Each structure stands twice: as structure tokens, then as C-alpha cells.
Amino acid sequence: MRLRCWLLFAVCVSGCLSVTAGIEPISTSIAVGMAAAITGFLASYQNAFYYFHECCRPEWISYNKTGLKHDLNTKLFGQHVASQVIMKAVTGFMSNENPKKPLVLSLHGWTGTGKNFVSQLIAENIYQKGMSSGFFHLFTATAHFPHEKHIETYKTQLQEWIRGNVSICARSMFIFDEMDKMHPGLIDSIKPYLDFYDNLNGVSYRQAIFIFLSNAGGENIVQVALNFWKDGREREEIKLKDLETALSLSVFNNRNSGFWHTSLIDKNLVDFFVPFLPLEYRHIVQCGLAEMAAKGHDPVKEVVEQMAHELNYFPKEERVFSMQGCKVISSRLDFYI
Ligand SMILES: *[C@@H]1O[C@H](CO)[C@@H](O)[C@H](O)[C@H]1NC(C)=O
Ligand SMILES: *[C@@H]1O[C@H](CO)[C@@H](O)[C@H](O)[C@H]1NC(C)=O
């Protein structure tokens, strides 16, 4: 991207120069004046150029800590543990001028609890263009790497993509969705990029961000939350350490978790494992109200409550946690509005 920016810029500049050179005759004083004018024009033109075309520069990429904090507090519901870990991890990494390795996060939890959404919030507070930035890359196992028999091709392709994109812009972000369905060999193939290398063949990966999303560990996290609920304790009392054991047991020992048999874990390449709690009725209502506002309607509590009430919850008797979380809410709401 940086190269492309410069190339485009160079083409524009030579275009401007040849137009100027075509004007004849030019007296010396006019030429001098013109040179000054061109220099001034080019300086402002360069700024204008960067203004309109996304480049790998601070104009387009800069971390907004206040923004991320605000978004996590007001847009993500029921995830006090994940919010804290994400805030700490991203801020620590982005304010370190010389990180020793790329940031590697692994987000775990039941479907609809906000893993994709958090990735979006991070992207929006780093890139001006958020998820539509040319430096943001999302890979979904079933969409990008569906056939096990093509695994060797996928490996080469993925390595090429990561190398290519990071050499264009060091501050690139890669999201791997559906890690549970990702072939373990594929993850192993990108391992060198996540490691503590100064550079690999002239490319440094230390400014990049890798985020893995998976349902692995979801059931164990649910169990912890359910135990708290049964003991009559507040959900907000749940601490990261209460979930860590649950998470490590399922992630490390589950051969379907996508991490199985990979050395990501042995080598401590994942900086943070981030647990997402299952959502309760009240969080579904919060999501619904936010979604209604996002759709341009006045949020009406009765409407959202009716919708939330008709969703599925588990355990069957107690109806504590939502099955689908906030994922289905956008489409469901359309029926009720
Ligand atoms: C950072 O985010 C805050 C809150 O969303 C916003 O008010 C502010 O304008 C942002 N700052 C920059 C530099 O984008
Ligand atoms: C960057 O990644 C995208 C996939 O997100 C890929 O299509 C593209 O070819 C990559 N660019 C380079 C230069 O490798």
C-alpha cells in the first residue's frame, strides 16, 4: 500500500511537471516563481493525496485509547472480563514503540457473545476506515480454507498473504474466525510470524496484530458462569482467574479446538486468552435497544423485551443464558418493529 501510494503520487507529480514544462516561453523569473509555486503545490498536494487515499501512515492508522474504552463500555454488553483484558492488551501493545513480537489474542466463547464485535471495535479504533481498511484482513475457515485436501495450497497462500500485506504495512491486522474449524497444519504454518523474530527475510512482523476467534472453551466458560449463578453470586464477581482453568483445559486438551497439536501454546505465542461469558436476558435487552437505535428507530423497551422473551435460553428450566446471544437480534427485531 505504501508503495502504491508513492507510485500514484509519482505519476501525479510527473503529470503536473510535464504540463508546466509545456508552457513556453518561460523567462527565468517566471520559472523561479513557478518552481516555488510547484513546490508549495506539491507539498499541499501530497497532504491532500494522503487525505483521500488510505496509506500506511498515522493519518490513517492511529490508536484511539479513549475511543476503544468508550466503545467497550457502551457497546459491548455483559463482558466485563473480556473488556478489561482487551483494553489492557491492546493499549499495552499499541503504546509500545518497539514490541518484541506481534500481538496475538485468542478470543473464546459461546456464539453471539461478542467476539467478532470486539474485533470490529479494535479495528475501528486503530484504522480510520475500520474493517473496510486495506490493512484489515478477515479469514473464515469455512469460506477461505474449506477443503482439507487443498491444505498445502492454503498454507502457501496464507503465508504469502501475510508476508505480502505486512511488507506493505507493518501495522496490519489479521482475524481468523472459526478457529475450531481451521486445519491445525494451517495454524502451524503461520507460527513463525507470531514469534519473537526481529525479522524474517527482511520483513518484521512485530507491529502486526493477530486475533483468533473460536467457540472452543465456550462450554466450560458457561459452566463457571452457571456455578456462580447457582451459588447466588454476582456475575461481575467472576474474575479472569476463575475462567483461566476452564479455558486452558478445553483449549489445550480438545483435539477439535484448532489449537490441538500446534505449538502456538507450547511456545507461548498467544499473549492473551480472552474468555467471553454467556449472555443473560438483560444483556439481550441491552443489545436489542442498541440495535433498535442503530436501525434508526426510537428504542422501545416493550418491543425489545417481547423479542428477548421469545428467544431460547438454557438450562431449560431456569432460562439463565441466551442460546444465540446477540447474533440473531438484528434480524429478529425486524419482526417486532
Ligand atoms: C477517539 O474516540 C473518542 C470517543 O469515541 C472521540 O470523541 C474522539 O474524537 C476520537 N479521537 C480521534 C483522534 O479520533
Ligand atoms: C493481502 O491479503 C489479501 C487477503 O485479505 C489478499 O487477497 C492479498 O493478495 C494480500 N496482498 C498481498 C500483497 O499479498
Gap between the Cα atoms of 259 and 277, Å rounded: 21
Task: Tell me which H or E stretch contains 224.
Answer: helix 218-230
- For 13, half-sphere exposure in the C-beta direction (CA atoms, 13 angstrom radius) is 19
Which residue is closest in CA terms to ligand 1's atom 13?
Answer: 64
Distance 306 CA to ligand 1 centre (A): 35
**Residue 198 — pLDDT band, cuts 50, 70, 90?**
confident
For residue 65 and ligand 1, the question of a CB distance below 6 A is answered with no
Distance 174 CA to ligand 2 centre (A): 11
3-state helix, strand, coil split of the chain in percent (to 5) is: 55, 10, 35
Mean pLDDT of the chain: 86
Which residue is closest in CA terms to ligand 1's atom 11?
Answer: 64
Gap between the Cα atoms of 295 and 154, Å rounded: 38
Distance 34 CA to ligand 1 centre (A): 40
Distance 66 CA to ligand 1 centre (A): 7
Average pLDDT in the 313-331 region? 92
Which residue is closest in CA terms to ligand 2's atom 12?
Answer: 164
Distances (CA, A) of 202 to 136, 137, 143, 155, 278: 22, 22, 31, 20, 43
Which residue is closest in CA terms to ligand 1's atom 1?
Answer: 67
Residue 287 clears pLDDT 70, i.e. is over it: yes
What's the pLDDT at 23?
46
What's the pLDDT at 15?
36
What's the pLDDT at 216?
85
Residue 35 clears pLDDT 60, i.e. is over it: yes
The rounded percent of the chain whose pLDDT value lies above 90 is 62
Distance 164 CA to ligand 2 centre (A): 7
Gap between the Cα atoms of 265 and 255, Å rounded: 13
Average pLDDT in the 206-214 region? 95
pTM above 0.75, yes or no: yes
Task: Pick left, alpha or beta for residue 5 (phi over 0 → left; psi -120 to 50 → alpha; otherwise beta).
Answer: alpha
The residue behind cell 498536494 is 45
For residue 70 and ligand 1, the question of a CB distance below 6 A is answered with yes
Kindly list the domain boundaries of the chain, sorted by start residue. Answer: 2-52, 65-275, 281-336
- For 172, half-sphere exposure in the C-beta direction (CA atoms, 13 angstrom radius) is 22
CATH number of the domain at 65-275, please?
A: 3.40.50.12190
Residue 186 clears pLDDT 80, i.e. is over it: yes
> 92-126 pLDDT, tens per residue?
999 999 999 999 999 999 889 999 999 999 999 99
Task: Evaluate whether 76 touches 121 at the Cβ level (below 8 Å).
Answer: yes
Gap between the Cα atoms of 321 and 311, Å rounded: 10
Closest ligand to 163 CA? 2
Report the residue among 137, 139, 173, 190 best suited for mutation to probe ligand 2: largest number of ligand atoms under 8 A from its CB.
137
Residue 255 clears pLDDT 80, i.e. is over it: no
* Minimum-distance ligand 1 atom for the alpha carbon of 67: 2
